[in-house]
Amino acid sequence: MKGLTSIMRTAGLALAGTMLATSAFAADISGAGATFPYPIYAKWADAYKKETGNGLNYQSIGSGGGIKQIKAKTVTFGASDKPLKPEALDEAGLMQFPMVMGGVVPVVNVKGVKPGDMVLDGPTLANIFMGKIKVWNDAAIKKLNPTLALPSTAIAVVHRSDGSGTTFNFAYYLGDVSTTWKENVGVDASVEWPVGIGGKGNEGVANMTAQTDGAIGYVEYAYAKQNKMSYTKMINKAGKIVTPDDTTFAAAAANANWAKAPGYYLILANQQGDQSWPMTAATFILLYKKPGDTAAVVEALKFFDWAFAKGNQMAIELDYVPMPDSVQKLVQNSWATQITDAAGKPVWTKK
């Protein structure tokens, strides 16, 4: 992960397994979960540390791990790319809010194929990940890429081995375009993969895809871009060929009505629009409504508030899509109305 390692060195952070931390951060803001937003959280952590002196200890362990850790109360906040439904939030005493948006992209390791060379559509992608399309010069792929020289190399499917919001959004899209996928594989943070080999985290899938001839995987776009991986273009719901970038991610998110989404439960996959990237997703933060350590939660909220106010350009530079100002204000108001101390007093004041 050469590109991500450079981000971490810039941020003055050490990579130990999948942990964004140094010993100096031991008493700082603690969080765990999704690997999807890891690059931008690393960048924000560096800038926030320089400006305030406060650090972020964020364990990039996957959305499933983040949900488990916040429920176990071992971290101040959890992070997940699979939003919890309102009833699940209420049962656990949690609130959630979207922090930033980005895109899931297929990445391939096929000789002679450069970033953006290959075009895929949803049904073909589903058939590849179900093992129905086994070689790169299959007629279905050739039909979508008539001018691309495709080898007879066997396709090696690479998928997540851990509970993953990236998997949830990827599987949600495949289920939306393929009834066979939805009925036989399903949509969840963990699925029974028909074929392939597993990698832990976006990092693991990116590494394994890069190291395996003929491989195809799926990762958050920042991982593909930072590591110069060969991502594919996609044919979207409107039938248009689109390239993954902040413009197509923003187009997919343009019609999202967060104000009318209870608990901010909203899926952005396979949206309408000529420019919409079909695997756009938001990443979410989970906090207790009545935290045991209110001081720690206030420090976390200060970080999120700072990221909303000063982190948008950094997000854009990594091809994430910042939440619109109206949504940021909506989220900040929800902090003031939903998070209270033991006496029922709000821990955050509306601005």
SS3 string, 232-294, reads CEEECCCCCEECCCHHHHHHHHCCCCHHHCHHHCCCCCCCCCCCCCCCEEEEEEEEECCCCCH
d(CA 301, CA 298) in angstroms, rounded, equals 5
Task: Indicate the domain borders of the chain.
Answer: 2-101+281-338, 104-255
For residue 23, name the pLDDT band (cuts at 50, 70, 90). very low
Asked if 234 contacts 278 with a C-beta cutoff of 8 angstroms, the reply is: yes
158-211 per-position pLDDT tens digit? 999 998 999 999 999 999 999 999 999 999 999 999 999 999 999 999 999 999
d(CA 271, CA 236) in angstroms, rounded, equals 8
d(CA 319, CA 332) in angstroms, rounded, equals 24
Name the phi and psi angles at 320, rounded to 5.
-90, 165
SS (H, E, C) 2-51: HHHHHHHHHCCCEEECCEEECHHHCCCEEEEECCCCHHHHHHHHHHHHHH
230 has which bridge partners? 108
Residue given tokens 């919890």 in the structure block? 84
For residue 351, name the pLDDT band (cuts at 50, 70, 90). low
Instruction: Report helix, strand or coil for 52.
Output: helix
For residue 226, name the pLDDT band (cuts at 50, 70, 90). confident
Q: How many CB atoms within 10 Å of residue 274?
A: 12
104-255 CATH pick, 3.10.20.740, 1.25.40.80, 3.40.190.10, 3.40.50.620: 3.40.190.10
Mean pLDDT (the chain) is 91
What is the sign, positive or negative, of the torsion defined by CA atoms of 239, 240, 246, 251? negative
pLDDT exceeds cutoff 50 at 10: no
Q: How many CB atoms within 10 Å of residue 90?
A: 13
Q: How many CB atoms within 10 Å of residue 9?
A: 12
275-331 per-position pLDDT tens digit? 999 999 999 999 999 999 999 999 999 999 999 999 999 999 998 999 999 999 999
13 vs 142 pLDDT, higher one: 142
d(CA 203, CA 1) in angstroms, rounded, equals 7
- The CATH class given to the 2-101+281-338 domain equals alpha beta
Asked if 274 contacts 235 with a C-beta cutoff of 8 angstroms, the reply is: no
> What is the pLDDT, as a whole number, of residue 178?
98
Domains 2-101+281-338 and 104-255 share a fold: yes
